Amino acid sequence: MRTPFIAGNWKMHMDRAEAKALAQAMKTELAGVPHKLMVAPPFTALETVGAVLQGSNILLGAQNMAPATSGAHTGEISPLMLKDLGVSVVILGHSERRHSYGETDALINEKVRLALQEGLEVILCVGETLEEREANRVNQVVETQMKEGLKGVTADQLENVTIAYEPVWAIGTGKTATPDDADAVHTTVRAIVADLYGADEADKMVIQYGGSVKPDNVKGLMGRDNIDGALVGGASLKTETFVPIAQFDR
Q: How far apart are CA 199 and CA 218, in angstroms?
A: 27
Q: How far apart are CA 104 and CA 162, in angstroms?
A: 19
Residue 201 neighbours by CB distance under 10 Å: 17
Check if 73 is active-site: no
Check if 166 is active-site: yes
CA 60 to chain CA centroid, Å, is 12
The single residue of 94, 96, 121, 186 carrying the catalytic annotation is: 94
What backbone torsions phi and psi does residue 180 show, to the nearest 5 degrees? Answer: -65, -45
Q: How far apart are CA 226 and CA 223, in angstroms?
A: 9
The single residue of 121, 128, 166, 186 carrying the catalytic annotation is: 166
Q: How far apart are CA 222 and CA 4, in angstroms?
A: 9
Indicate which residues carry an active-site annotation.
Answer: 94, 166
